[in-house]
Amino acid sequence: MNLKTAHIKNFKCYKGSFKIDFSQGVNIIVGNNETGKSTILEAIHLALSGVLKGHYLRNELSQYLFNNEVVESFLSNLKNGKNPELPCIHIELFFDGHTTSDYAKLQGDNNSMKTEAVGVSFKVEYDESFNDEYEALLAEKNELQTLPIEFYKITWKSFARDSSITTRSIPIKSVLIDSSNQRYKNGSDVYISRIIKNNLNLKEKAGVSQAFRQVKESFMSNPSIEAINKQVKKNSHISTNKNIEISVDLSTQNAWETTLMTYLDNVPFHQIGKGEQCIIKTNLSLSHKKSEKADLILLEEPENHLTHSKLNEFIKSVTNNCKNKQIIISTHSSFVANKLGLENLILLSKSKVGRKKTYINELPSDTQNYFKKLSGYDTLRFILCKKAILVEGDSDELVVQKAYMDMHDGCLPIENRIDVISVRSLAFKRFLDIAKIIKHPVAIVTDNDRKFKEKIIDKYEDYEGVESIKIFADEREELNTLEPQIVDANKKQLDILRKALGIKKSRYNSEKSIVKYMVSHKTDTALKLFETAEEIKYPRYLEKVIKWCDDE
């Protein structure tokens, strides 16, 4: 059984209802900061486990779990004499899979779609048993400044209207691995303990508990501990006849889970490198198998703390072990996205009207394979910017950025979320395949190489008519590259161009000689043009691409 769809309502950054679909295998969530990537993982894990940030939510309810705008609207309406309904957090998880007894128990139409489906509903909602207390609170003269969270409850229901459902009865078990945050209790990493615990059967768990109890008995019978407890009893003045002593915590059957410590090569787990921790947690989670249950692995920015080689090791672990697992990853790493497959990408974006998602599952297979094999391309940098300008090399990148700065009072394009990215011309069409699907504004700045029809018109005919894609090149084939284009644009002020390039007129006294110099010193001349204070002119197609940057 797999997670098919999640509906999230009023949880953290999600105001109102938000729906997101998932595939059976790997799902990669990307987006700029504050678009809600982490919140989606938290919401899914919360609805499956009742746990948020390592703690059971039942004892950690807070107003700040609710969307701030929703809370502010409620308090404002209350202040204005209205009787608004108390806000509610609602997370629905729709499942898909083979027909089993677990499957049938969750099937019904008790969901926001009002259609027959399999799933669970998780709510943080007002508890009507507090009606009298709430009415009394509203009757007080003091205005309500915060959400009365003390009157809230947590409920789970299946789509079959079964309110007796618990986290144990939900067939999908999730593991949330966040390598950017470490959460410990009494020095023990709770996550690693739970992962190990989930790999044990009932007999093995009982064996651990018995061994732990024996440790307590041995601890208590130790002469040093006996002497200490006698001293504690003697020096403690409490109004009771009961004994007070120090011991090992065995208050619950699972006390060992948060007390015992995991070691790696005799080093406490929380003392090893964070990158190594991430890989070990992931491998343990991926290797965990339970019959008839497809575990859901939630990975929060796995690239944190990992070197390039370790990241490659991580990707290999995921691809080798996820055949029967469903994985949802949030990432800012192009390497992770490229290696795991851009066709698995879910792009989150935020606008004035709310949050939206775009699926890139229709990417041509040859483009998918291209980025998997050549994973060094910064595809997420391309996807997440406001507009992208693709150029053929470092020299072109510098000149385009300089042209933009000269036309925007020294402001770099990236400061306006316009990203100038240098890629090989062979990769242009691969990036355009992505842009075509997600309707991302992208401009290609390219040379005509004395073959304008072949290199420009014919090469990009598949993208003709795509509104978000623009190709900028000069038709004049005698001006085949950027260097002669720049010289031609400055032919009426060659002295200024020579000064910008730091060359003398006595040696470079013609347009042809200047072009020859620039071609043989491509990077050096591009740097000089980028740094010059001289007001040079730019080719017409570069002026057009800069104007395109400003178009809405």
**Contact between residue 192 and residue 269 where contact means Cβ atoms under 8 Å apart:** yes
**Contact between residue 402 and residue 413 where contact means Cβ atoms under 8 Å apart:** no
Domain ranges of the chain: 2-22+37-170, 184-232+247-332, 385-550
How would you label 105-138 residue by residue, b for 16+ Cβ within 10 Å and e otherwise?
Answer: bbbbebbeeeeebbbbbbbbbbeeebeeebeeee
> Can you give the pLDDT at residue 123?
96
Burial environment of residue 499 by CB neighbours within 10 A (0 to 12, 13 to 18, 19 or more): middle
Least confident of 141-155, 219-233, 386-400: 219-233
Smallest CA-to-CA distance from 46 within 9, 4, 83 is with 9
> Can you give the pLDDT at residue 471?
97
**Contact between residue 356 and residue 405 where contact means Cβ atoms under 8 Å apart:** no
Which range, 184-188, 261-265, 298-302, has the best average confidence (pLDDT)? 298-302
pLDDT tier at 507, thresholds 50, 70, 90: very high
> Can you give the pLDDT at residue 143?
75
Residues sharing a CB contact under 8 Å with residue 333, sequence separation 6 or more, in sequence order? 301, 302, 303, 311, 380
pLDDT tier at 192, thresholds 50, 70, 90: low
> Can you give the pLDDT at residue 292?
41
Structure tokens at 530: 């980028």
Q: Could you report the per-residue pLDDT of 98-108, keeping only the tens digit for each? A: 656 667 788 99
**Contact between residue 7 and residue 18 where contact means Cβ atoms under 8 Å apart:** yes
Least confident of 14-23, 259-268, 332-341, 483-492: 259-268
> Across the chain, what does the average pLDDT equal?
86
The alpha carbon of 415 is separated from its chain's Cα centroid by a whole number of angstroms, namely 22
Percent of the chain with pLDDT over 90: 58
Least confident of 88-102, 331-345, 408-422: 88-102
pLDDT tier at 185, thresholds 50, 70, 90: very low
pLDDT tier at 59, thresholds 50, 70, 90: confident
| Between 55 and 363, the higher pLDDT residue | 363
Pairing state between β 152-158 and 184-185:
unpaired
Smallest CA-to-CA distance from 87 within 149, 179, 165 is with 149
> Can you give the pLDDT at residue 187?
37
Whether the pLDDT of residue 279 is over 80: the answer is no
pLDDT tier at 250, thresholds 50, 70, 90: low
Whether the pLDDT of residue 298 is over 60: the answer is yes
The alpha carbon of 416 is separated from its chain's Cα centroid by a whole number of angstroms, namely 23
Mean pLDDT value across residues 133-157 = 88
Mean pLDDT value across residues 160-187 = 72
> Can you give the pLDDT at residue 98?
60
Residue 392 CA: distances (Å) to CA of 117, 448, 471: 50, 12, 13
Mean pLDDT value across residues 143-158 = 91
Whether the pLDDT of residue 261 is over 80: the answer is no
Q: Alpha-carbon distance 207 to 200, whole Å?
A: 10
Q: Alpha-carbon distance 526 to 248, whole Å?
A: 70
Whether the pLDDT of residue 169 is over 80: the answer is yes
Smallest CA-to-CA distance from 472 within 540, 519, 420, 383 is with 540
Whether the pLDDT of residue 149 is over 90: the answer is yes
Residue located via tokens 């400044």: 145
| Between 195 and 82, the higher pLDDT residue | 82
Whether the pLDDT of residue 46 is over 60: the answer is yes
> Can you give the pLDDT at residue 425?
83
pLDDT tier at 97, thresholds 50, 70, 90: low
Helices (H), 255-307: 255-259, 274-287
Mean pLDDT value across residues 232-239 = 61
Whether the pLDDT of residue 293 is over 80: the answer is no
> Can you give the pLDDT at residue 286?
63
> Can you give the pLDDT at residue 411?
96
pLDDT tier at 345, thresholds 50, 70, 90: very high
> Can you give the pLDDT at residue 66?
96
DSSP 453: I
Smallest CA-to-CA distance from 323 within 346, 344, 295 is with 295
> Can you give the pLDDT at residue 382?
95
